Amino acid sequence: MLLDAAPEEHLYEGILYTTLEPCAMCLGAAVVSGVRHIRYAAEDGPTDARRLLLAHPLLASKNVALEGPEPLLGAFSLVLMSDWILREASDTAERTLSAYRVRVPGPVELAERWHRGGLLQRMAQEGAPLDDVLGAVQAALGSVRR
């Protein structure tokens, strides 16, 4: 893991970027490892990382800067994650997507529509630049429903 090899002073100066709001285990690991600034793209409703940072005395004492969500990047990551879940087609896929569909219907519905039409798979096969995929998500979701 890169965190193990990084000099500690770099962790204090760095920013940890995550696609999804960090869960309790990831948040604790990051803070104990010296990370003091975290930015995430999409909320994860049940997590509430801000509450976790305040609730635990050790975490609260570290003055961690937590920023997020980023609406467009959050929607983008949720579309990609939902598409991945659909492609994996595991036994728990529908249950997972149902939970996200309640909280963030726009990105999940977009991923389902694109999955049926194979759009993201086609863009990946054609080597579409990331900006094109991000632009397609933005165009499809308009003001980005969350």
Q: With respect to Zn ion, which residue has the nearer C-beta, 46 or 127?
A: 46
In whole angstroms, the minimum distance from the beta carbon of 40 to Zn ion comes to 11
In whole angstroms, the minimum distance from the beta carbon of 8 to Zn ion comes to 22
List of residues 6+ apart from 97 with CB closer than 8 A = 82, 85, 86, 108, 112
Q: Is 66 in the site for Zn ion (CB under 5 A)?
A: no
Characterise 68 by phi-psi region: left (phi > 0), alpha (psi -120 to 50), beta (else): left
- How far apart CA 10 and CA 90 sit, in angstroms, is 39
- How far apart CA 85 and CA 117 sit, in angstroms, is 16
Binding residue count for Zn ion, defined by CB under 5 A: 2
In whole angstroms, the minimum distance from the beta carbon of 27 to Zn ion comes to 8
In the window 17-36, what residues touch Zn ion (CB under 5 A)? 23, 26
Given the rule CB under 5 A, which residues bind Zn ion? 23, 26
